[in-house]
């Protein structure tokens, strides 16, 4: 199809309509792609952002200068560089100042610049701005040294940079999003320190792969924090340029104590996924609750302030917090996906980039910028040295030069004669003519000579940089290292494995802790140094705010990286990393364990084990209240489902009570309330290994009215040393001198009324399983309700924490407790208040303890 007119045939060109539309639309599309929507892979900026930053730089709005009205900046950008609407420019400026939009904001804003609730910013006439220090140091540094190309602005009246001389991969640092014609980009922000480490690794090894780079850049780091679930989406984005990254809010379950009202459990949200509107999120949750699509929520409110975000979702009394939280993740933007599309302009063409390609494009650009800066400095140094050489010639022929100038008719003639007589260039002759008389002194002449020598060294160094690429790469590494030292910050977004377990080795210090669990199911974690060591016979220190009808059930030491196995009275085992247990102060009650584990409220945790590594040669030895014992391979518990695993099969009326770790060569010692103890091997002959869903065999014969109170494991080397000794070699005497030469280890015996002792292991001879055992202790008074409270195997370098039913804890070294025989009554370990009794004794992981205190705790 063609068209033409008979009126003015000389002005109309016959054109195919399809070709015209195709050509015109393609030109329009490329104009949008290159000029508006897609960022440049070199500096990570779109034209509007680049023009705003350059205009502010030209206005002198650096980080150490006063703020200037945003309207002034917008006017400067519109008038000189960006002939579009003021709203578009101001919106771009505002986003570069929002700390919830950019990982490292490029502009420092003063005033209302919007909020995470999608509140609009104040009008530009009210707000003020200036550049961030990072922007000046990492994006605008050296822009006057011909490091980048400049081009005409829209009317040719001004020059603007076509790219910023970026010193860091800004596109990865703050990310970018934009919709062009037929294509779009969506690049997530990253951590500054990590991407600099990635660039450094690429410089050191140009053959590094994308997979290897992920060791340095593990994933995005969003400004609002939150969690990233899994690595599959990150891997796809880094290796192919496209991937879906799952983000999840940071939510904790707390118990709210309101005066005059019963306590309520609540979900506290402190971090949201990137680009989530908090106000819209709360409206969405309220809508789902009203539509009965979300159960268990009684109230929702926003308690955010200048200290940070805090959304409180209060739950009904009969709600299960974990179930409600899972539903929130499933039905609301508390969990959402970030669709990464790593599209950027490379040499003016849109390209889908991998992680390594991103860094390669930046590195190539940075090398060119360093080379251009070096050539600029070299030219300036040579020009200056050229003038100095002329001045040195004049100083060497000072009298003749002065005579020549004085006898010249005018400046032009003097210049001409200087050039002819001494072979000077015109700039050198002008420099001599402009030289002040004070520079004719000997001191000034020496300064000129010294400056000439310095310039010669500088010129040689600059020429060496241009000739050797390794020098350029060294300069890049040094400059980015300086930026990392000055501006890098810790990662905000925690990357979580697919099963939800945190990457503890990278993110959490493996500190020593103690974990306390009460009879009513409250749990908390405390640093081990919360309790300084005290002398024997002290009052102790309060370890928890225990209710009158509650008491301490479990108290043990661990490391924060350990996996904690919780065994319930029903014979079910649950798993939880130690660091996920909330830290509490000494006076805190703790967190209800039902908030941490999916256990029914009527179920009770009876034993807790800390496991650092699930090895093949270890077993878990389990003992029930009816005396059934069995051992099961520890590896059988390495993968525990979210709703737990069956650990032991129980008959009606029986409960799982004690669980310990052991090897085949170890032995087992069990104590009863009446003060009896039995010691037998953990070998397959005495105790064959069984699967998880089995009951076990009989452990100890009990007299009428007696019951089991504890079990512990004696290490293999001790069993080998004393297995063949007769009991006669360990005399049953109350004389402590008879056991003072024993090297250890010992069986620590603690009674409910606060007395205890260390008994040599060799006084408990090895017996066959299911016997009555031997007497472990005599009680101080037979008229009081004194019983055996704890029986543990200890060494001299161990530390002990003794816990009472009221939550009083005393920490002391084992070596201050007297070593006595089985028939002795022991010494007082702790002075107890009326109606208070010892309930357990825990061994703290080995470590140095402080000097002993006075014995008076609080």
Distance CA 679, CA 662 (A): 14
pLDDT value of position 58: 94
Least confident of 278-282, 413-417, 806-810: 806-810
pLDDT of 136 higher than 90: yes
pLDDT band at 432 (very low <50, low <70, confident <90, very high): confident
Each residue's pLDDT tens digit, 40-94? 999 999 999 999 999 999 999 999 999 999 999 999 999 999 988 899 999 999 9
211 C-beta neighbours (distance < 10 Å), count: 12
- CA distances for 206 relative to 44, 134, 175, 199, 216, angstroms: 22, 27, 24, 10, 15
The token pair at 504 is: 């503890």
Q: Show the tokens assigned to 671.
A: 């104590």
CA distances from 656 to 63, 566, 659 (A): 65, 11, 8
Backbone angles phi, psi at 137, to 5 degrees: -80, -35
Q: CA dist 279 to 44, 147, 282, 396, 619, Å?
A: 31, 45, 5, 79, 52
- Is residue 153 predicted with pLDDT exceeding 60? yes
Query: Who has greater pLDDT, 69 or 785?
Result: 69
d(CA 764, CA 676): 11
More confident residue, 770 or 727: 770
Is the per-residue pLDDT at 533 higher than 70?
no
Fold of 250-333: Gyrase A; domain 2 (3.30.1360)
CA–CA distance, 565 with 573 (Å, rounded to integer): 6
Neighbouring CB atoms inside 10 A of 368's CB total: 15
Q: Residue range 159-186: average pLDDT?
A: 91
Is residue 830 a contact partner of residue 554, using CB atoms and an 8 Å limit?
no
Q: How confident is the model at residue 784 (pLDDT cuts 50, 70, 90)?
A: low
Q: Mean pLDDT throughout 823-846?
A: 81
Cα–Cα distance, 802 to 790 (Å, whole number): 9
Beta strand extents in 529-651 (DSSP E only): 541-542, 552-559, 563-568, 572-577, 591-592, 605-611, 619-624, 628-633, 645-646
| DSSP string covering 452-473 | HHHHHHHHHHHHHHHH-HHHHH
Token pair of 546 as six digits: 């225990």
CB within 8 Å of 685: residues ≥ 6 apart: none
In 3D, which of 745, 768, 752 has the Cα closest to residue 819? 745
Q: Which pLDDT belongs to residue 503?
A: 47
Six token digits for residue 288? 């789902």
Look up the CATH number of domain 367-487. 1.10.268.10
Which residues lie closer than 8 Å to 419 by C-beta, 6 or more apart? 425, 426, 429
Radius of gyration in angstroms for the set of CA atoms belonging to the chain, rounded to a whole number: 39
Of 257, 849, 170, nearest to 529 by C-alpha is: 849
CA angle 513, 516, 522 (to 5 degrees): 135
Distance CA 451, CA 431 (A): 15
pLDDT at 550: 57
Give the distance from CA 837 to its chain's centroid.
42
Section 340-367 average pLDDT: 93
Pairing mode of beta strands 227-229, 494-496: parallel
Say how far apart CA 763 and CA 824 lie, in whole Å. Answer: 12
Which pLDDT does position 106 carry in this prediction? 96
Reply yes or no on whether the pLDDT at 519 is more than 90. no
469 pLDDT tier (thresholds 50, 70, 90): very high
Is 764 a residue whose pLDDT tops 80? Answer: yes
Mean pLDDT confidence for 152-159 = 90
- Measure the CA–CA gap between 519 and 604, rounded to whole angstroms: 8
The pair of three-digit structure tokens given for residue 157, joined into one six-digit string: 């009246």
Would you name the residues annotated as active-site residues? 126
Instruction: Express each pLDDT in 545-560 by its tens digit.
Output: 555 545 567 777 888 8
Reduced to 3 states (helix: H, G, I; strand: E, B; else coil), residue 476 is helix
> With contact defined as beta carbons under 8 Å apart, do 315 and 264 qualify?
yes
CA trace torsion 739, 742, 748, 753 (10° rounding): 20
Preceding amide of 40 cis, omega within 30: no
Of the candidate CATH numbers 3.10.50.40, 3.40.50.300, 3.50.30.10, 2.120.10.90, the domain formed by 508-844 belongs to 2.120.10.90
Q: What is the mean pLDDT of residues 124-148?
A: 95
Mean pLDDT of 772-778: 90
CB atoms within 10 A of CB 849: 18
When the pLDDT of each residue in the chain is averaged and rounded to a whole number, the result is 85
Structure confidence at residue 538 (pLDDT)? 53
- How far CA 596 is from CA of 230, 292, 593, 839, in Å, comes to 21, 26, 5, 24
SS3 199: helix
Task: Pick the closest to residue 229 from 241, 243, 245 (CA basis).
Answer: 245
Instruction: Tell me the mean pLDDT in the region 371-398.
Output: 91
SS3 content of the chain, % helix, strand, coil (to 5): 30, 25, 45
- Say what percent of the chain tops pLDDT 90: 47
Q: What ranges in 229-301 are assigned the alpha helix state H?
A: 232-240, 278-290
CA 545 to chain CA mean position, Å: 31
Q: What is the mean pLDDT of residues 462-474?
A: 93
Alpha helical stretches, state H, 158-257: 170-174, 192-204, 210-213, 232-240
C-beta separation of 734 from 824 below 8 A? yes
- Given a contact cutoff of 8 angstroms between Cβ atoms, the answer to whether 200 and 480 are in contact is yes
Q: Dihedral of the CA atoms 159, 163, 164, 168 (nearest 10)?
A: 180
Nearest to 547 by CA among 525, 524, 518: 518
Place 511 in a pLDDT band, splitting at 50, 70 and 90. Answer: confident
If one looks up domain 25-192 in CATH, what number appears? 3.90.199.10
pLDDT of residue 734: 46
What does the alpha-carbon distance between residue 467 and residue 375 come to, in Å, rounded to a whole number? 11
pLDDT value, residue 855 = 32
- What does the pLDDT read at residue 857? 32
- Which of 141-145, 592-596, 655-659 shows the lowest mean pLDDT across its residues? 592-596
Residue 756 CA to residue 780 CA, distance in Å, equals: 10
Which of 464-468, 483-487, 741-745, 827-831 has the weakest average pLDDT?
A: 741-745
Question: Is pLDDT at 727 greater than 90 in this prediction?
Answer: no
Predicted confidence (pLDDT) per residue in 473-509, tens digit: 999 999 999 999 999 999 999 998 754 443 444 455 6
C-alpha 351/C-alpha 170 separation (Å) is: 17
pTM: 0.63
799 pLDDT tier (thresholds 50, 70, 90): confident
Provide the H-helix boundaries in 259-396: 278-290, 321-331, 355-396
Question: Residue ranges of the domains in the chain?
Answer: 25-192, 250-333, 367-487, 508-844
Average pLDDT estimate for 207-233: 92
Cα distances (Å, whole numbers) of residue 242 to 61, 172, 352:
38, 14, 8
What proportion of the chain, given as a percentage, has pLDDT over 70?
A: 89
Q: In sequence order, which residues have a C-beta less than 8 Å from that of residue 26 and are 6 or more positions away?
A: none
DSSP 6: S
Per-residue pLDDT, 851: 31
Write out the two tokens for 585. 């102060």
3-state secondary structure of 403: helix
> What backbone phi and psi angles, to 5 degrees, belong to 246?
-85, 125
Unique residue bearing structure tokens 């200056």:
384
Query: Which DSSP state fits 293?
Result: S
The predicted pLDDT at position 721 comes to 62
**Cα four-point dihedral sign 53, 58, 64, 67:** negative
Contact 414/433 with Cβ under 8 angstroms? yes
d(CA 608, CA 611): 10
Cβ count near 104 (within 10 Å): 21
Nearest-5° Cα angle at 121, 120 to 125: 135
Rounded CA-CA distance 574/609 in Å is 10
Choose the weakest-confidence range: 493-502, 515-524, 577-586, 771-780.
493-502
Residue 731 has pLDDT above 60, yes or no: no
848 confidence band (pLDDT: 50, 70, 90): very low
């Amino acid at each position: 199809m063609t068209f033409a007119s008979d009126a003015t045939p000389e002005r109309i060109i016959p054109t195919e309509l399809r070709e015209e539309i195709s050509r015109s639309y393609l030109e329009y599309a490329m104009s949008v792609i290159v000029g508006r929507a897609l960022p440049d892979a070199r500096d990570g900026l779109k034209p509007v952002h680049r023009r705003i930053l350059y205009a502010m730089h030209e206005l002198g709005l650096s980080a150490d200068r006063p703020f200037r009205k945003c309207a002034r900046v917008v006017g400067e950008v519109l008038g000189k560089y960006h002939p579009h609407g003021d709203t578009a420019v101001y919106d771009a400026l505002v986003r570069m100042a929002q700390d919830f939009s950019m990982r490292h904001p490029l502009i420092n804003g003063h005033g209302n610049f919007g909020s995470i609730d999608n509140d609009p910013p104040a009008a530009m006439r009210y707000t003020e701005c200036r550049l961030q220090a990072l922007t000046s140091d990492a994006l605008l540094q050296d822009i006057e040294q011909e490091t980048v190309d400049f081009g005409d602005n829209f009317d040719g009246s001004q020059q603007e940079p076509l790219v910023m001389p970026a010193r860091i991969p800004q596109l990865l640092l703050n990310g970018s999003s934009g919709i062009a014609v037929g294509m779009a980009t969506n690049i997530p922000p990253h951590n500054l320190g990590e991407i600099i480490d990635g660039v450094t690794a690429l410089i050191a090894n140009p053959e590094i792969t994308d997979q290897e780079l992920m060791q340095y850049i593990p994933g995005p780091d969003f400004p609002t924090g939150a969690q990233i679930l899994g690595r599959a989406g990150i891997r796809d984005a880094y290796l192919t340029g496209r991937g879906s990254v799952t983000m999840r809010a940071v939510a904790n379950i707390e118990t709210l104590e309101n005066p005059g009202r019963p306590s309520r459990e609540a979900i506290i949200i402190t971090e949201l996924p990137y680009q989530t509107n908090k106000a819209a999120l709360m409206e969405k949750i309220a809508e789902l609750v009203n539509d009965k699509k979300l159960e268990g929520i009684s109230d929702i409110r926003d308690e955010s302030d200048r200290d940070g975000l805090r959304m409180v979702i209060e739950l009904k009394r009969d709600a299960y917090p974990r179930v409600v939280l899972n539903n929130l993740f499933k039905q609301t933007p508390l969990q959402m996906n970030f669709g990464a599309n790593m599209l950027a302009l490379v040499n003016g063409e849109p390209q889908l980039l991998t992680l390594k390609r991103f860094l390669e494009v930046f590195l190539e650009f940075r090398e060119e910028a360093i080379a251009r800066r070096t050539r600029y400095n070299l030219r300036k140094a040579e020009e200056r040295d050229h003038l100095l050489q002329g001045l040195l010639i004049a100083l060497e022929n000072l009298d003749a030069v002065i005579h020549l100038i004085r006898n010249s008719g005018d400046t032009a003639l003097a210049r001409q004669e200087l050039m002819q007589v001494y072979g000077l260039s015109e700039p050198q002759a002008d420099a001599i003519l402009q030289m002040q008389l004070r520079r004719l002194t000997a001191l000034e002449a020496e300064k000129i000579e010294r400056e000439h020598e310095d310039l010669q060294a500088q010129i040689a160094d600059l020429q060496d940089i241009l000739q050797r690429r390794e020098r350029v790469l060294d300069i890049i590494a040094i400059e980015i290292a300086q930026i990392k030292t000055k501006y890098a910050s810790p990662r905000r977004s925690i990357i979580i494995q697919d099963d939800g377990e945190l990457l503890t080795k990278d993110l959490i210090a493996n500190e020593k802790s103690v974990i306390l669990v009460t009879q009513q199911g409250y749990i908390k974690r405390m640093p081990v140094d919360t309790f300084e060591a005290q002398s024997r016979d002290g009052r102790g220190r309060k370890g928890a705010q225990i209710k009158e009808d509650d008491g301490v059930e479990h108290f043990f030491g661990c490391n924060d990286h350990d996996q904690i196995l919780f065994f319930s009275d029903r014979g079910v085992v649950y798993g939880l990393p130690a660091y996920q247990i909330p830290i509490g102060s000494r006076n805190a009650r703790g967190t209800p364990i039902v908030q941490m584990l999916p256990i029914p409220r009527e179920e009770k945790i009876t034993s807790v084990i800390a496991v650092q590594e699930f090895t093949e040669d270890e077993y878990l030895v389990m003992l029930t209240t009816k005396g059934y014992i069995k051992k099961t391979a520890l590896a059988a518990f390495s993968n525990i489902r979210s709703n737990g695993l069956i650990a032991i099969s129980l008959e009606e009326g029986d409960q799982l009570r004690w669980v310990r770790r052991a090897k085949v060569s170890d032995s087992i010692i069990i104590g009863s309330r009446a003060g009896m103890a039995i010691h037998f091997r953990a070998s397959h002959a005495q105790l064959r290994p069984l699967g998880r869903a089995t009951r076990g065999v009989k452990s100890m014969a009990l007299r009428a009215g007696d019951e089991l109170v504890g079990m512990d494991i004696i290490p293999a080397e001790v069993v080998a040393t004393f297995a063949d000794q007769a009991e006669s070699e360990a005399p049953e005497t109350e004389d402590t001198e008879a056991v003072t030469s024993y090297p250890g280890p010992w069986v620590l015996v603690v009674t409910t009324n606060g007395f205890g002792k260390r008994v040599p292991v060799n006084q408990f001879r090895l017996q066959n399983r299911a016997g009555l055992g031997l007497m472990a202790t005599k009680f101080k008074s037979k008229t009081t309700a004194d019983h055996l409270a704890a029986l543990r195997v200890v060494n001299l370098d161990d530390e002990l924490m003794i816990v009472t039913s009221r939550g009083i804890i005393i920490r002391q070294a084992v070596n201050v407790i007297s070593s006595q025989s089985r028939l002795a009554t022991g010494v007082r370990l702790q002075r107890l208040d009326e109606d208070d009794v010892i309930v357990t004794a825990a061994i703290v992981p080995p470590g140095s303890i402080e000097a002993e205190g006075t014995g008076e705790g609080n």
